[in-house]
Structure 1
Amino acid sequence: MACRITEFVIDCRDPETLADFWCRVLGYVVLLRDDNGDVEIGPAGTEPGDAGLKLVLSRSDEPKRGKLPLHFDVNATDRDQDEELQRLFDLGARTADVGQTGEESWHVLADPEGNEFCLLRRTVAPKAG
């Protein structure tokens, strides 16, 4: 047997704002809101015991310090990279500088709380489901 990554937790000041952003970026829905203000999101139809990856936006007052040691890479599913980049900007993403040269085939972006993620060049098939 092996473990599976089932949740990726992002500490943030405003879980509702980040949940809204990431739901719109990934096509996810809110699965759970807890009494502490944390919000869990994932693909529509996901149940708590499902093994698919869910995001938990966890309320924290700790400030972000520097470049994150982990980040998401995302790919568009129905448009080219330039069109997806514009869509992400329209959703509230912004350009981030983590020391890239400008020659990369990907774009480094930040979500509304400054968490870095990259938009890669490939277009991938949407997950069936």
Structure 2
Amino acid sequence: MTVRWESVVVDCRDPRAQAAWWGETLGWPVVYDEEDEAGIAPPFVAEHTRDTPPIERWPEMTFVPVPDGKTIKNRLHIDLAPGIDDSQEAEIAALVARGARLADVGQGDDVTWVVLEDPEGNEFCVLSPRV
């Protein structure tokens, strides 16, 4: 038996703000925005709704409210990669300008990725450009 990947769920204090920030970061539209959660999905499934049959949906990012702020390093994180003709430094600068922060999780100086935190402190990496 196999299962289908439904969503990456991000606990946060402000689901709407996090969905908007990550949606802009990934170029994904907000596909639902409810009182208790918000979600984004890839643009080619923009017509996706919570009523779309599961077999027709793609994995999304769902943001749900929790009362407490983040206190420890994530055990799971997202890796973002600029296109082969894009600049890692420019992507990082744009993310920082929109509220991301550089993070030190002990990665050292000799790695090809940069660790950042989203506006609520969730770590993610920006890799070197990829095809």
Is 1:112 the equivalent of 2:111?
Answer: no
| Count of aligned positions | 123
* Residue 26 (structure 1) aligns with: 26
In the alignment, structure 1 segments of 5+ residues that lack a partner are 125-129
Is 1:14 the equivalent of 2:14?
Answer: yes
SS of the aligned residue for 1:22 comes to helix
* Residue 43 (structure 1) aligns with: 42
Contact 1:8 1:56 in 2 (8 A): yes
Q: Indicate the RMSD between aligned Cα atoms, in angstroms.
A: 1.6
SS of the aligned residue for 1:57 comes to strand
Which structure: greater strand fraction? 1
Q: Partner amino acid for 2:41?
A: G
The structural deviation recorded for 1:43 is 1.7
Contact 2:80 2:124 in 1 (8 A): yes
Q: Partner amino acid for 1:42?
A: A
* Residue 60 (structure 2) aligns with: 54
The structural deviation recorded for 1:39 is 0.4
Is 1:84 the equivalent of 2:91?
Answer: yes
The structural deviation recorded for 1:46 is 4.6
In the alignment, structure 2 segments of 5+ residues that lack a partner are none
Deviates more, 1:42-51 or 1:93-102: 42-51
Which of 62, 74, 79 in structure 1 is aligned with 2:80? 74
Give the % identical residues.
37
SS of the aligned residue for 2:64 comes to strand
SS of the aligned residue for 1:58 comes to strand
| 1:25-48 deviation digits (Å, cap 9, x = unpaired) | 100111012232x10111232524
SS of the aligned residue for 1:76 comes to coil
Contact 1:107 1:120 in 2 (8 A): yes
Distance 2:35 2:15 in 1: 12
The structural deviation recorded for 1:12 is 0.3
